[in-house]
Structure 1
Amino acid sequence: MIRINLLPFREPVRKTTTRQWVYFYLVGLLAAAGVMGFLWISRDGRIQDLQRKEARLKEEVGRFAKYEVMLKELKAQKEIIEQKKEVIRSLQRDRDHLVRSLTLFSLMTPPERMWFQRFSQSGEQVSISGVAVSNEAIAEFMRNLETSPFVGRGSVSLAHSRMTSMGGSKLREFQLSCKVLPYSAVQKMLSALPQGSAAEPEHGEGKPGPGSSPAGG
């Protein structure tokens, strides 16, 4: 039987294969390290780029925030100016409010049966003191006021009515109050009514309004 010794041939092959595996391992390790380094550098650059963008955005936000504050201040000043202008317009519309109130009460007073002794007005609230020949005259005066669009609905209130003597005549002393609306408020109220149902602000249900003259002189 013939024996062949293959050991001297296999040993160099095994050594060559081992060296190749070591070489491939080192090359793969270096390649992996290179890829990881590249990814790390890329990510670091990306982070720095994002940080720079964030800094620029913060700078722009800070710059525009100043304009936003200025805009809010301008809007607030504009609102204040508009409110003042509205007050001025209201005063111009209602500058004859007292005259209208006096005219209203003179026209609503039962003739020869009621006389005023004291008249005071604070804003829209009016207080009247006087004497009348009877409670019926006082009631008629209150009904006349309630029919006027210039008098607040349900605002006519009688404080007291008591017997008094004046010049030998027995009269009824009274005090009442009511709310007299300004002309601008009456205009707004009437304009809100359906068309055709709003009465002229100078007249109210058969009663002459402030500023008009009694019929028949």
Structure 2
Amino acid sequence: MIRINLLPYREKKKQAGLQKQVFLFGGSFLALLLILGGIHLFMITSIRSYEGDIKEKEEVLARLNKIAGEVEIFKKDKNVLEKKLSVISRLEENRLAPVRYLNDLNSSVPIGDAWIDRIILKESDLRLEGVARNNMVLSRFMRNLEGRSFLSAVDLVSSTQKEYSGMKFHQFVLNCKIKKQGI
């Protein structure tokens, strides 16, 4: 006798295969969501960690910038002080120079034959105004001045004959250049 199975076994097989596929797809989707969630969580913690590092580095940078500013102020103050000290040392070195120059100038004047009425000093220019008995005395005075170590040039600006108390004298004006090592 022939047996015929009327139960829908093929449909059950299809339905079982379909359930298996849905379960597999759902599990894969769930695994994908878990993986994406894990990656997302890892990224969030990494970002927070990097943000914390950035804040910490910015604080260190702000502190170092403040220190760098203080160092710059210190350098400027140091330069100002060094300039002041150099001026003081130059003044200290040259404080006796005018006295020496006047002494040398005094010893250059021919005694009894000439005298200086006025001395004007402007930077490295020295102007001497005075009176000499005659041109020979004035010439000797100029040669004496040229022999001085602190002067580099002696020029006669003017020489005019004037009468004082019935005697004739030569009124003169000399310009002299003081060497750089001077005052």
CA–CA distance in structure 1, aligned partners of residues 23 and 137 of structure 2: 127
**Offset at residue 46 of structure 1 (A):** 1.0
Structure 1 residues 68 and 142: CA distance shift in structure 2, 3 A: farther
Measured after TM superposition, the shift of residue 105 of structure 1 is 2.8
Report the counterpart of residue 178 of structure 2 in structure 1: 180
> Which residue does 1:214 correspond to in 2?
none
Q: Which residue of 1 aligns with 2:43?
A: 43
TM-fit CA distance, 1:112:
7.0
User: Counterparts in 2 of 1:27-66, with a 5 A limit?
Assistant: 27-66=27-66
TM-score norm. by structure 2 comes to: 0.71
- The alignment of Structure 1 onto Structure 2 pairs a total of residues equal to 175
Q: Distance in 2 between matches of 1:10 and 1:176?
A: 136
Stretches of structure 1 lacking an aligned partner (at least 5 in a row): 187-217
Among candidates 160, 164, 179, match of residue 163 of structure 1: 160
Q: Counterpart of 2:135?
A: 134
Structure 2 unmatched ranges of 5 or more: none
Query: For 1:135 and 1:162, how far apart are their aligned partners in 2?
Result: 12
SS in 1 for 2:151: coil
| Deviation, structure 1 residue 94 | 0.9
2:74 aligned with 1:74:
yes
- The answer on whether the counterparts of 2:142 and 2:154 sit within 8 Å (CA) in structure 1 is no
Cα distance in 2 for partners of 1:126, 1:41 equals 88
Displacement, 1:148? 5.0
Partner of 1:12: 12
**Higher helix content, 1 or 2:** 2
Q: Secondary structure at the match of 1:177?
A: strand
Which residue does the alignment assign to 2:92? 92
Distance 2:42 2:145 in 1: 92
Amino acid of the structure 2 residue aligned with 1:164: Q
SS in 1 for 2:158: strand
Aligned partners of 1:110 and 1:141 also within 8 Å: no
CA distance in 2, matches of 1:30, 1:148: 107
RMSD: 3.6
Query: Kindly, what percent of the aligned residue pairs are identical?
Result: 22
Tell me the alpha carbon deviations over residues 26-75 of structure 1, each in whole angstroms, 9 at most, x when there is no partner.
12211111111111111111111111112122222333334333333333
* C-alpha contact (below 8 Å) 1:117/1:130 kept by paired residues: yes
Q: Which amino acid aligns with 1:32?
A: L
Q: Which amino acid aligns with 2:175?
A: S
Distance in 2 (CA, whole Å) between partners of 1:62 and 1:138 is 74
Which residue pairs with 1:194 in the alignment? none
Residue identity in the other structure for 1:47:
I
User: Higher strand proportion, which one?
Assistant: 2
